[in-house]
Chains A and B, each alone.
Chain A
Amino acid sequence: MAWLELLSDYTFQNVVIGASLLGLISGPLGCFAVLRRQSLLGDAISHAALPGICLSFIITGSRDIGGIIIGSLITGSAAALIMLMLTRLSRLKTDAGLGACLSIFFAVGIVLLTYIQGTNNASQGGLEAFLFGQAAATLRSDLWVMGSITLVTLLLLAAFWKQAKLVTFDAEYARTLGMPTTVIEASLTAMVALAVVVGLQMVGVILMAAMIVAPAAAARQWSRHLGGMLTIAAGVGIVSGVSGATISTLSRGLATGPLIVLTATAIVLISLALAPGRGLLWGMIKHYRQKSALQQQQLLYALYKHSADPSRASPTLGSRRMFHKLKQQGYLTRSLRGATPSDDGWGLTAQGQAEARRVVAAFEELAS
């Protein structure tokens, strides 16, 4: 009963639509960021959105989402630009540039936030929600803005698909083709700032980094193609967004951002373990199978080579389980009593002989 009630709940509808939009934009753009080894740039850009939010509030005097989006876009891009300048024009490395920009912009944001609080403007109450996200405060009008940004971004991505793809995987080649690689790279980074903006209301500036990284990292495990990866990332983003937001709405009092992030992280862990082909679990099973197949072959080889001298073909060659396994496969027989005391009766069947000859031939071919 609670579910039906929930589905018709106005706030809940807003939350679900907002979370889906967030997943839809952050997943695909996160893929480009992750593939271009800029996972942490999203972190810097999202922290740098805070001064933009505060500035727009100071200028417009309200929590108008249009102003907030423009403000955070400007400061987010400024942070990315300054980061590039710091690393290109000085000997600071990328990590130091990122860390410095992230923390300084955030500090400016905190200073502005406390400045606004000092002015005692009555409508400033919602600003701190942007730190951790407050999905329940999403308005229908916010959704229209978020939706338009998502749509425009995805259309842009579709229009410049080939260029974005080439720059991501082989920037050198793109440059020799005469593509404006710097422009494309800068736009891909600016689009990450757009994704951050859409997520501000949902997960907040602190955790937006995870929404860039996690869906992309999960999707990478399931697909070897960029298109597939983007689609899956969008799906992962939507699923984690909606389920995190739902739990948050149902529980009342638990912050939305952390719940969405933890859901996304859980999906990443599942993908790492279970994705076909790349999954760690399959890798482990494959490794185990190969290992035991090799040991069986070694055992057959040894039995075959030493069949003239049965005393050396004792079970110490392999585990008892392996002897029985080979017997099940019909390669070994066991007479109840061996010819000599040290021989406990294991011998190759005709089928085993044939298999052993094949293994020997394969071994010798490898050795030559």
Chain B
Amino acid sequence: MMAELLTTTALPIMLVGAMVGIASSAVGTFLVLRGNSMLSDAISHSIVFGIVIVWLLTKQQSGPVQLIGAALTGLLTVLLTEALASTKRVKQDTAIGLVFPALFSIGVLLLNIYANDVHIDTHTVLLGEIGFVWLDTLDIFGLPIPQALVSMSVMTVLNYAFIGLFYKELKLATFDPALAKTFGFMPSILFYVLLMLTSSTAVAAFDAVGAVLFIAFAIVPASAAYLLTDRLWMMFIIGALISIASSISGYYLAVYLNVSIGGMMAVMTGVFLILAFLAGPRYGVITQLVKRQRARQAPMEPPPSI
């Protein structure tokens, strides 16, 4: 039964999509809360550079070496950005806008030069090939498990292990960095680790959804969750649920319309964000309007007598 399900193409694709969303929104939650969402943009572009460099050095296109390479590339991106910003000659956002296009450009040019030797082309870089994840499988307990599913599961476990272990520290570092620092929690180190995990997740998700759509999976479910709850742990749950729902609905819509599956999944995360934005129970636009209307219609209370 299980083997049968996995050999059909639909379930592995949806599972990979959901896992990409769950793993990315875990780290994305902190990026959204800290106001660093655009770092996911920077990282997802510059890992192209990392992937090509690691491939040139080791000839490995996926696996642990690539994940570590990605972590280092992500770190390099952030450090370069901070180094540029610390010269005080350019602002933080300008620095981001300078660093990642440069790294991305080098990556694309190297891909151009070595195009005959490597099968990642610029098309894959952007779109990923989630529709073909079932082609590349590993045998685990006799079951053919898609390799993308394995690497995404590893990243999900790693991300949540990190978040689980340092939950209290991360929470404080996110909401009150100054206090976290006085407690000796080293918020900046925590943040660097988080960004390294983000890069590794981006590389693991790379084959499935490509560089740009990763941003959608990292930022959008987390943003939607942020509009729905005030509790940090709840954000992870909502983010994961939105990822699963986007993955399933995106898959069927994409098959129905015969379009890019990864793209459609990312579009669905956007649909959920708009729903949360409009109809969220507390912060939704409609709720706010209704509340304002009620406040206007409510009879004015007499001032308390002195």
A residues adjacent to B (C-beta < 8 A): 34, 37-40, 42-43, 47, 86, 89-96, 98-100, 102-104, 106-115, 118, 128, 131-132, 206-207, 209-210, 212-214, 216-217, 220-221, 253-255, 257-259, 261-262, 265, 268, 272, 278, 280
Contacts A43-B41, A92-B226, A258-B104 given; indicate if A103 touches B216 (C-beta within 8 A).
Answer: yes
Whether a CB of chain A sits under 8 angstroms from the CB of B87 is yes
Complex Cα–Cα for A259 and B283 (A):
45
Complex Cα–Cα for A265 and B98 (A):
7
- Determine the chain A residues whose CB is within 8 A of the CB of B201 once the complex forms: none
B285 contacts A89, CB within 8 Å? yes
B residues adjacent to A (C-beta < 8 A): 32, 35-38, 40-41, 45, 84, 87, 89-91, 93-94, 96-98, 101-102, 104-106, 108-109, 112-113, 115, 122-123, 126-127, 212-213, 215-216, 218-220, 222-223, 226-227, 254, 257-260, 262-264, 266-267, 269-270, 273, 277, 283, 285, 288
A111 contacts B226, CB within 8 Å? no
- Determine the chain B residues whose CB is within 8 A of the CB of A89 once the complex forms: 277, 285, 288
Smallest Cβ-Cβ distance to A131: which chain B residue: B126
- Minimum CB–CB distance from A341 to chain B (whole Å) comes to 50
Q: Given A99-B40, A99-B215, list of 16 further CB < 8 A pairs?
A: A39-B96, A39-B97, A40-B41, A43-B38, A96-B226, A99-B223, A102-B212, A107-B216, A107-B264, A110-B263, A111-B264, A112-B259, A206-B126, A258-B109, A272-B89, A280-B89
- Determine the chain B residues whose CB is within 8 A of the CB of A113 once the complex forms: 260
Among B38, B102, B122, B219, which residue has its beta carbon within 8 angstroms of that of A40? B38
B98 contacts A96, CB within 8 Å? no
- Minimum CB–CB distance from B96 to chain A (whole Å) comes to 7
Complex Cα–Cα for A112 and B127 (A):
12
Smallest Cβ-Cβ distance to B108: which chain A residue: A258
Smallest Cβ-Cβ distance to B123: which chain A residue: A128
Contacts A89-B285, A98-B37, A255-B122 given; indicate if A103 touches B93 (C-beta within 8 A).
Answer: no
B35 contacts A255, CB within 8 Å? no
A-B contacts, 17 listed (Cβ < 8 Å)? A39-B97, A40-B96, A90-B277, A98-B41, A100-B216, A103-B41, A103-B219, A104-B216, A104-B273, A106-B216, A109-B263, A118-B259, A132-B122, A210-B102, A254-B109, A258-B112, A262-B102
A262 contacts B105, CB within 8 Å? yes
Among B112, B218, B257, which residue has its beta carbon within 8 angstroms of that of A115? B257
A96 contacts B37, CB within 8 Å? yes
Among A111, A209, A254, which residue has its beta carbon within 8 angstroms of that of B259? A111
Complex Cα–Cα for A28 and B219 (A):
31
Complex Cα–Cα for A268 and B98 (A):
9
- Determine the chain B residues whose CB is within 8 A of the CB of A106 once the complex forms: 212-213, 216, 266
A96 contacts B32, CB within 8 Å? yes
- Determine the chain A residues whose CB is within 8 A of the CB of B84 once the complex forms: 272
- Minimum CB–CB distance from A266 to chain B (whole Å) comes to 9
Complex Cα–Cα for A333 and B220 (A):
74
Among A90, A93, A132, A213, which residue has its beta carbon within 8 angstroms of that of B35? A93
- Determine the chain A residues whose CB is within 8 A of the CB of B285 once the complex forms: 89-90
Complex Cα–Cα for A222 and B266 (A):
42
- Minimum CB–CB distance from B86 to chain A (whole Å) comes to 11
Smallest Cβ-Cβ distance to B268: which chain A residue: A107
- Determine the chain B residues whose CB is within 8 A of the CB of A103 once the complex forms: 41, 212-213, 215-216, 219-220, 266, 270
- Minimum CB–CB distance from B100 to chain A (whole Å) comes to 8
Smallest Cβ-Cβ distance to A42: which chain B residue: B97
Smallest Cβ-Cβ distance to A210: which chain B residue: B101
A110 contacts B213, CB within 8 Å? yes
Complex Cα–Cα for A268 and B32 (A):
30
Complex Cα–Cα for A286 and B216 (A):
46
